[in-house]
Amino acid sequence: MSESDSQQQIAVVLPDGSELEVDADATVEDCAYEIGPGLGRDTVAGKLDGELVAKEEPVYDGVELEIVTDQSDEYLRVMRHSAAHCLAQAVERHYDDVDLAIGPPTDEGFYYDFDNLDVDEEDLAELEAEMEAIIEEDYDIEREVVSIDEAEERLADEPYKLELLSEFAEEDETVTFYSQGEWEDLCAGPHVDSTGEIGAVKLLEIAGAYWRGDEDNTMQTRIYGTAFEDESDLEDFLERKQEAEKRDHRRIGNEMDLFSIQDVTGPGLPLYHPAGKTVLKELEDFVETLNKEAGYDYVETPHVFKTDLWHQSGHYENYQDDMFIFDVGDDEFGLKPMNCPGHAAIFQDHSWSYRDLPIRYAENGKVYRKEQRGELSGLSRVWAFTIDDGHLFIRPDQIKREVEEIMDMITDVLETFDLEYEMALATRPEKSVGSDEIWERAEDQLESVLEAHGHEYEIEEGDGAFYGPKIDFAFEDAIGRSWDGPTVQLDFNMPERFDLNYVGEDNEEHRPVMIHRALYGSYERFFMMLIEHYEGRFPLWLAPEQVRVLPISDDNLGYAHRVANEFDDFRVEVDGRDSTLERKIRAAHDDRVPYQIIVGDNEEADGTISVRDRFEDQEYDVEIDEFRSHLEAERDEQRTEPDFLQ
């Protein structure tokens, strides 16, 4: 067969790294059939270089291809997108003159945004029933490729869709529509084959959302929902969601008077009240102890720098849209989005010998990042937050020892809060700075640290930053939610940009390696996670109020204060209100105080106390000294639960 009469072939890369030769015009589905007819039939969608696409999409030479079937992790996403379409179809069946905006799947479900739609929570049940009917009717979901002109005609009554279309028209000559029954939508897909494939659906809430997330645009109506393969998965999800709502840090933060975020002070700018700052202070002290033991020196840098610094560090180029930038006279300044350049500038201000290294700087550094207003939420997404930041400047031969030390500190933190964790090593990406030698040396050392650490880890090939490999931690909270945790990031780039040097044993100048590390990450996110993890019932060492003394009657008030004085090494309060004991107990319980000391005539006569914990266990005739030494031990050992009565 000669070259000219064979169709041109291309190669796609499969997940196991092998290559598959296919015709140049092959689609995702064709590739699946090429692998095997069973897989071909089961194909729902595909991933091209990690991006989820319809199975009808053509592949291209060298692309990494993954086939998505109903067994894939991505399947839920595809099904939820189809569920979003069912929602829009249901809405249009029940309401006239609604304008459709966008309706994507999310990590937990889906939403669809509408304009000119007047609904409230009571209407959701009716819409849900309509969605169930659409699912029951089992419409085929059909994909159609349409020219821009034809799309314009079809979307004549949909101003938002037309706006999207005009953007697609700049790049493509055709767009795709997906239809089910009488309803269709401009949509890139992918979708399941028919509405009947959608398992169980639930509409969750209604919220306002700006068109394209921009507060200068119209506020639209967003309906959130979720979908699962079956009823029991949905039930599990709803239970977890309810548990998460019970633990919502915004509600608990308000009940315990920990923090507030107010309109007058600005969005995403948390204010810590005394109780909240008490917890934060304990968290700060804890890392400070770890930092001091590990030989860190504390430094302090201002909140604002001239943007010259951000030009030098490279943040200006890559980050300026997320920065707060302003002019003062002829100079431009910016609130710092990161602490690293300030620390690099401190290092640069000295000359160093190889014997001085490692240099370790620590700072509880406040940073500012301009997230979209619509994305701000409690302490989880904010404009101002504090990183328990640390930067090390080390010789390449010191990577292993230093990373080992940091890993010990991180695991110490996670174990202290009873958090199960996972680790991953992210290695060199295709585009990177730094020599082969330094990358190999660094990755080898990181791997040997991980091996020695003895905890399982994954290798995320090519997932490192362009400037260095990193170790990522993820941890799980009390209700099984997973969170991004601390990181250890090596950096070969910033030392170049800041021209950092030390004089080696050979009397020549050498580049140090920089390490960025945080044990909590951001205090805000960690605090939020802890509030939800403990449901506000902090361990004794963190609790804003550790002990509350409850006199049974006013007659015992004097004794109550004398007892409180015996615990003045703790955060102790006396409930001196004229109220019944039951009410005082209830209030201490609601305030999540770890221990209550109850004193009445009997205790006063014997010089003893009664102790009650938040599990409602109570013990009488306790010696003051005995309880105090228990409290000291419980606090200093940072036990996670009050355990005097356990």
Binding residues for Zn(2+): 340, 391, 516
Stretch that binds Zn ion, among 24-32, 183-191, 362-370, 543-551 (CB under 5 A): 183-191
Q: How far is the CB of 187 from Zn ion (least distance, A)?
A: 3
Q: How far is the CB of 343 from Zn ion (least distance, A)?
A: 7
Stretch that binds Zn ion, among 19-27, 297-305, 336-344, 465-473 (CB under 5 A): 336-344
Stretch that binds Zn ion, among 169-177, 187-195, 463-471, 633-641 (CB under 5 A): 187-195
When the beta carbons of 74 and 243 are compared against Zn ion, the nearer one is 74
Q: How far is the CB of 338 from Zn ion (least distance, A)?
A: 6
When the beta carbons of 343 and 510 are compared against Zn ion, the nearer one is 343
As a whole number of angstroms, the distance between CA 126 and CA 129 comes to 5
Please give the full DSSP string across 204-245, using - where no structure is assigned. Answer: EEEEEEEGGG-TTS-EEEEEEEEEESSHHHHHHHHHHHHHHH
When the beta carbons of 54 and 340 are compared against Zn ion, the nearer one is 340
When the beta carbons of 27 and 339 are compared against Zn ion, the nearer one is 339
Q: How far is the CB of 367 from Zn ion (least distance, A)?
A: 10
- Output phi, psi for 416, to 5 deg: -60, -35
When the beta carbons of 56 and 573 are compared against Zn ion, the nearer one is 56
597 close to 619: Cβ distance less than 8 angstroms: no
Q: How far is the CB of 512 from Zn ion (least distance, A)?
A: 14
Angle in degrees, 0-180, between the axes of helices 399-416 and 436-453, rounded to the nearest 10: 40
As a whole number of angstroms, the distance between CA 286 and CA 269 comes to 24
Strand 420-426 to 384-394 pairing? unpaired
When the beta carbons of 164 and 529 are compared against Zn ion, the nearer one is 164
Let me know how many helices (H) and strands (E) the chain has, helices first: 20, 32
Contacts of 421 (CB under 8 A, 6+ apart): 411, 414, 455, 473, 474, 475, 476, 485
When the beta carbons of 190 and 378 are compared against Zn ion, the nearer one is 190
475 close to 485: Cβ distance less than 8 angstroms: yes
Q: Which of 68, 83, 340, 450 binds Zn ion (CB under 5 A)?
A: 340
3-class DSSP assignment, residue 313 = helix
As a whole number of angstroms, the distance between CA 395 and CA 354 comes to 7
As a whole number of angstroms, the distance between CA 112 and CA 129 comes to 17
Stretch that binds Zn ion, among 21-29, 185-193, 275-283, 477-485 (CB under 5 A): 185-193
Residue numbers belonging to the annotated binding site: 340, 391, 516
43-108-55 Cα angle (round to 5) = 20
Q: How far is the CB of 340 from Zn ion (least distance, A)?
A: 3
Stretch that binds Zn ion, among 41-49, 58-66, 334-342, 452-460 (CB under 5 A): 334-342
When the beta carbons of 52 and 340 are compared against Zn ion, the nearer one is 340
Which residue in 530, 597, 87, 511 sits closest to 282, CA to CA?
530
Interacting positions 459-518 with Zn ion (CB under 5 A): 516
Could you tell me which residues are beta bridge partners of residue 143? 178
Q: How far is the CB of 22 from Zn ion (least distance, A)?
A: 28
179 close to 41: Cβ distance less than 8 angstroms: no
Q: How far is the CB of 103 from Zn ion (least distance, A)?
A: 6
When the beta carbons of 177 and 272 are compared against Zn ion, the nearer one is 177
When the beta carbons of 167 and 430 are compared against Zn ion, the nearer one is 167
Q: How far is the CB of 135 from Zn ion (least distance, A)?
A: 16
Query: By rule CB under 5 A, what string of x and - marks binding of each residue 133-172 to Zn ion?
Result: ----------------------------------------
Structure tokens at 403: 């990373």
As a whole number of angstroms, the distance between CA 554 and CA 533 comes to 38
Query: By rule CB under 5 A, what string of x and - marks binding of each residue 560-589 to Zn ion?
Result: ------------------------------
When the beta carbons of 342 and 600 are compared against Zn ion, the nearer one is 342
530 close to 607: Cβ distance less than 8 angstroms: no
140 close to 193: Cβ distance less than 8 angstroms: yes
Q: How far is the CB of 544 from Zn ion (least distance, A)?
A: 31
Stretch that binds Zn ion, among 155-163, 317-325, 340-348, 570-578 (CB under 5 A): 340-348
Q: Which of 187, 543, 574, 585 binds Zn ion (CB under 5 A)?
A: 187
The sign of the dihedral angle between the CA atoms of 635, 640, 642, 646 is negative
Q: How far is the CB of 339 from Zn ion (least distance, A)?
A: 6
Query: By rule CB under 5 A, what string of x and - marks binding of each residue 287-326 to Zn ion?
Result: ----------------------------------------
Interacting positions 516-535 with Zn ion (CB under 5 A): 516
As a whole number of angstroms, the distance between CA 636 and CA 542 comes to 11
**Judged by CB under 5 A, how many residues of this single chain contact Zn ion?**
3
Which residue in 240, 239, 280, 276 sits closest to 256, CA to CA?
276
If one asks whether residue 540 binds Zn ion (CB under 5 A), the answer comes out as no
Q: Which residues bind Zn ion (CB under 5 A)?
A: 187, 340, 516
